[in-house]
Amino acid sequence: MSRPTLRTKFCDTMGIEYPIVSAGMGPSLIGEATGATVDLVVAVSDAGGLGVLGAAGYTVDQMQEAIREVKKQTDKPFGVDVLLPAAQVEGGDVRPEDIQDIPVQDVLKAALPETHYKWFLSIKEEHKLPDLDIEIKGGSTTSRPHASIKVILEEKVPLFCAGLGNPGFMIEDAHANGVKVLGLVGNTKNARRVAESGADFVVAQGHEAGGHTGRIGTMALLPQALDACGRTPLLAAGGIGDGRAVAACLAMGCAGVWVGTRFLATKESGLVDEQGRFIVNATDEDTRRSKLYTGKTSRTVYSSVHDLWDKSGLEMLPFPQQSLLASAVIGSFHKAKKFDYVGPFSGQISGLIDEIKPAAKVVEQMVNEAVDILCHRLPDTVVAKA
């Protein structure tokens, strides 16, 4: 049987078959290699979509190794996602000689306010949690954005994705190296800013998304962001879990979709079984947007750690101090295998997900359903005449 056709300008520009992108999802808060792994990128790109490696949280060397591994396993186009915090971009990379991997256990006392440190110790004692052995990577791509960009351009990665910050300053260099540039935004103002800076594509991500997320719902954000982006193609993100959402986004004028949670719940994402179960069992009401995990608002599946935090009565710490505290608490529960306290980053679409399946199947089903809607269901159910 021939493959269905579902193509937009985004596909033509990127040389891919379907306008479905698996989002750049970095490793988990406690450093597990989950999210947009090499395996996920290869599976999605081989299935006709475009896989994006989640390199936030990798060291620059780990990112380069992963890029080379993707290239070894597929000759299809793919992307790499890093974060470009403005302060780090302007202030410059952490110098190689200053890079240190710091054991979380050793810095907590010095880095946290006494009240928060004591809270961590009380949780540890009450729940009989073991000592931690996770490390903060001193040389992550986020702390070395310029070195990361250099590697991505040298490796001629087809699509550079900025998950945070405006990539405008590197677009000329990227284009000189044949690399396209995409920027992820959560509101109309930033959509306009990134489009005006010359990015090839903008992703507008709605409030319902997993991971760091803004205040505007996808349905309200998309038309406003589309207007703001003008001729720059816009991809939709936040709450996209099947072909119905794909068809709706294309109907609205988007050039494609950027999908996180649905691809997190696949066999290739490296998600540990217990975390997969969290997503599969979740209803649409079971995620929470909170600053608990990082100090910036992010959406995760609700877990008992939220209750512990609410009861603590403590002030939220700023980013990245809060991530240190959350990594320590969640990492300790994880090490103790008390998984009820370890909910993954995940979006409201979790309620629709009832199975961990191969990523290629997700692409295939999204395409088949969207094509069926656009070719058959819509003309059958909607009477429209111009």
Ligand X SMILES: Cc1cc2nc3c(=O)[nH]c(=O)nc-3n(C[C@H](O)[C@H](O)[C@H](O)COP(=O)(O)O)c2cc1C
For binding to ligand X (CB under 6 A), which residues are involved?
A: 23-26, 35, 54, 56, 81, 163, 184, 205, 208-211, 237-240, 258-262, 264, 344-347, 349
CB of 26 to ligand X, least distance (A): 3
**CA distances (Å), origin 271, targets 75, 236, 265, 267, 279:** 25, 24, 7, 8, 10
**Identity (one letter) of the amino acid at 68?**
R
> Nearer to ligand X by C-beta: 331 or 344?
344
Distance CA 70, CA 77 (A): 10
> Nearer to ligand X by C-beta: 32 or 135?
32
Nearest to 265 by CA among 353, 204, 189: 353
Distance CA 72, CA 9 (A): 27
CB of 303 to ligand X, least distance (A): 14
> Nearer to ligand X by C-beta: 116 or 289?
289
Q: How many residues does the chain have?
A: 386
> Nearer to ligand X by C-beta: 123 or 228?
228
Q: Tokens at residue 84, please? A: 């470009």
Distance CA 311, CA 102 (A): 29
> Nearer to ligand X by C-beta: 40 or 325?
40
> Nearer to ligand X by C-beta: 17 or 81?
81
> Nearer to ligand X by C-beta: 205 or 303?
205
Nearest to 213 by CA among 249, 244, 258, 248: 258
CB of 305 to ligand X, least distance (A): 16
